[in-house]
Amino acid sequence: DTAVSQTPKYLVTQMGNDKSIKCEQNLGHDTMYWYKQDSKKFLKIMFSYNNKELIINETVPNRFSPKSPDKAHLNLHINSLELGDSAVYFCASSPRGGSQETQYFGPGTRLLVL
Amino acid sequence: GNSVTQMEGPVTLSEEAFLTINCTYTATGYPSLFWYVQYPGEGLQLLLKATKADDKGSNKGFEATYRKETTSFHLEKGSVQVSDSAVYFCALSPTGGYSTLTFGKGTMLLVSP
């Protein structure tokens, strides 16, 4: 019974393609996040949703579009993929999005753009 | 803006050695401080946290104390094991509002038998 799950685990695609990554949490949390981890392991937040509402939108190209159909799911769609999008993308969730809360991370999606 | 600085790795130790990974931060007010660990091929998981000054977080033999005066949250363990080999991330979340974790660059720890 995985708490935060992501699909796919690996994604290899060509430049210019459009792809989606899905995330689901079964923890009953209100808040979900997308992070990008680059090749040097540096992690940076991309987006955060609270009860399906976008609350954090960092400086991310608008080729990246998150969608939250319900509070248990947060998907990430990427248009016109570029080489620099190659990274590991992590989804996370937390109970209500409070600053003291623990965030629970998924296993990551390893995206390679050729 | 907010930032977290942690020591560069890799840190290479023998089993049962003492571990310190330094972490300092820049933030206004009293952020919450976290250590997350990433084992090879996995996502991050919380190791410990502290939400106010002088708090000590501890878990699995690891400890870190929130030092406001030195803006630090150094991670320590008295005796490391091979299974502790992982990447360790220090992070902060500013006071109030929604959580926005700012991470350090991570420190890889390699423990040999």
Span B87-111, mean pLDDT? 92
pLDDT the model gives residue B96 = 80
CA–CA dist A91, A75 (Å, integer): 9
Distances (CA, A) of A66 to A56, A69, B31: 11, 10, 27
A43 touches chain B (CB under 8 A): yes
pLDDT tens digits, B5-20: 998 889 999 999 999 9
Return the residue in B3, B99, B107 with the most chain A beta carbons within 10 A, the one to mutate for interface testing. B99
End-to-end CA, chain A: 34
Percentage above 70 pLDDT, chain A: 99
Q: B101 and A48 in contact by Cβ < 8 A?
A: no
pLDDT tens digits, A55-78: 888 878 999 999 999 999 999 999
In chain A, which stretches have pLDDT less than 70?
1
Span B73-92, mean pLDDT? 97
Q: Hey, how many other C-beta atoms are within 10 angstroms of the C-beta on A107?
A: 18
Closest approach of B24 to chain A, Cα-based (Å): 16
pLDDT the model gives residue A1 = 64
Contacts of A61 (CB under 8 A, 6+ apart): none
Q: Are A81 and B35 in contact (CB under 8 A)?
A: no
State the count of interchain CB pairs (< 8 A) between A and B.
68
A40 touches chain B (CB under 8 A): yes
pLDDT the model gives residue B45 = 96
pLDDT the model gives residue B32 = 95
Q: Are A95 and A29 in contact (CB under 8 A)?
A: yes
Closest approach of B50 to chain A, Cα-based (Å): 8
